[in-house]
Amino acid sequence: MGHVTIAFLGDIFAVPGRRVVQQQLPTLRADHEPDLVIANAENACRGLGLSPDLYRKIRGYGIDAITLGDHVFREAKIVEVLETPGEPIARPANLPASAAGREWIRIEPSGDRTRSVFVITVLGRVFVSLPSDSPFTTVDRILAALPEPDPIVIVEAHMEATSEKAALAHHLDGRVAAVLGTHTHVPTADARILPGGTAFITDVGMCGPYDSVIGRDKRAVVKHMSTSMYTPFGIGEGDEALCGALIRVDEATGRAVHIERIEYRADRTQPPFAGQGGPRGETGASGQQR
Ligand SMILES: [Fe+2]
Ligand SMILES: [Fe+2]
C-alpha cells in the first residue's frame, strides 16, 4: 500500500470561481498529481447554490467529487442530481434524514490506489442560519456505519466559527484522515496534523475573486455595511484564485502524513478570463454571502 493524495478545493464562487478552477486545475494536477480532487460548489451558481448544468460543467473541469453547504438547496433543480444514484455529490450530512441527497459518498481514486475515500460534509451550528443536527454526533453515527473497516474519511467542516471547526477536528482526531474547514471563503494559515494523525485546517478559502468581500462586489457590501441601506450584492471581480488543501493519506493506516495549503492565482491575460470561451458574466442575486 502507498499513499493517496487528495486535493480539496474551497467554495467555487460564481463565474470568477469557475473560471479560475477551469484555468488552474490542470496546473495543480500537473504539480501534485492528486489521485482525487474534491471541491465545494455551494456558491457556483451566481454565488448561491449549484444547478445541474453547472454540476456537470464543474465535473468536466476535472473535479471528481462535489460537496455542498448551507446553500445546498438554493438551486432547487440540484435535487435531481442529489437523488441520482452514483453521482459523486454530498449534501450536508446533519440535515434532516428526509432531506434529498446522500450523507456520505464513496469515491474510488484514479490510478493504482487500492482504498476507497469516503467524503462527509457537515454544517456548523454557530452563526449558520440553516438548522442542523449536531455535526459531532452525526459524524460519529456515520463513521460507525460506513461499509468498510478502518475507512479513509475526509470530513468537511462547513462552519463559520473557528472554535467549532477546531472542536470537531479534535473530536475526530485519530478517527478520520482530515477535517477541512470551508464556508468563510477566507484561507487560514494553520494547516497541520493533529496528534492522532488527522490533518486539519480551519478554512481552505474559496475559489473565487479575492478583490471582494468574501466573493461579493466590494463596493456594494461596503455601501450596505457602512449605511445599513438595502444594497443588492453583485459578484466581485479581481484577484481570482483557486484555494484549497492538499492531503496525503497513508493507505495502510487511513491517517494523514501531510497537509499543505494550496493557492493558484488566475492569469487574467489568458482564457477563460481573456478572450472567448469562458462563462458569460453574471450579476448575481442579493442575499447571504457565504
Ligand atoms: Fe456556506
Ligand atoms: Fe460558501
CA angle 234, 88, 136 (to 5 degrees): 80
| Nearest ligand to residue 41 Cα | 2
pLDDT of residue 112: 77
Identify whether the C-beta of residue 220 lies closer than 8 Å to the C-beta of residue 206: no
SS (H, E, C) 55-91: HHHHHHCCCCEEECCCCCCCCCCHHHHHCCCCCCEEC
The answer to whether 14 touches 47, Cβ cutoff 8 Å, is yes
Ligand 1: centre distance to CA 12 (Å): 11
Q: What is the pTM of this model?
A: 0.94
- The three cell numbers of residue 103 are 450523507
pLDDT at position 276: 55
- Count how many residues are written for the chain: 290
User: Which pLDDT does position 167 carry in this prediction?
Assistant: 98
Of the ligands numbered here, which is closest to the C-alpha atom of 70?
A: 1
Q: Which residues pair with 65 in a beta bridge?
A: 38
Ligand nearest to the CA of 10: 2
State whether the Cα torsion 177-182-187-188 is positive or negative. Answer: negative
Distance 166 CA to ligand 2 centre (A): 18
> What pLDDT does 280 receive?
52
Return averaged pLDDT per consecutive 10 residues of the chain, 290 residues in all.
Answer: 95 98 98 97 98 98 98 98 98 98 93 89 97 98 96 98 98 98 98 98 98 98 97 97 98 97 97 71 52
Cα of 134 from ligand 2 centre, angstroms: 20
Output the pLDDT for position 59: 98
Let me know if 171 is a catalytic residue.
Answer: no
CA 127–ligand 2 middle distance (angstroms): 13
Answer yes or no: are the C-beta atoms of 38 and 154 closer than 8 Å.
yes
Ligand 2 center to 257 CA (angstroms): 28
Distance 70 CA to ligand 1 centre (A): 5
**Nearest ligand to residue 72 Cα:** 1
b/e 169-178 (16+ beta carbons within 10 angstroms → b): bebbbebbbb
Fold classified for 3-265: Purple Acid Phosphatase; chain A, domain 2 (3.60.21)
Q: What is the largest CA-CA distance in the chain?
A: 59
Q: How far apart are CA 183 and CA 161, in angstroms?
A: 10
CB 124 within 8 A of CB 160: yes
Catalytic residue among 3, 32, 71, 170: 71
| Interval 120-159: pLDDT, tens | 999 999 999 999 999 999 999 999 999 999 999 999 999 9
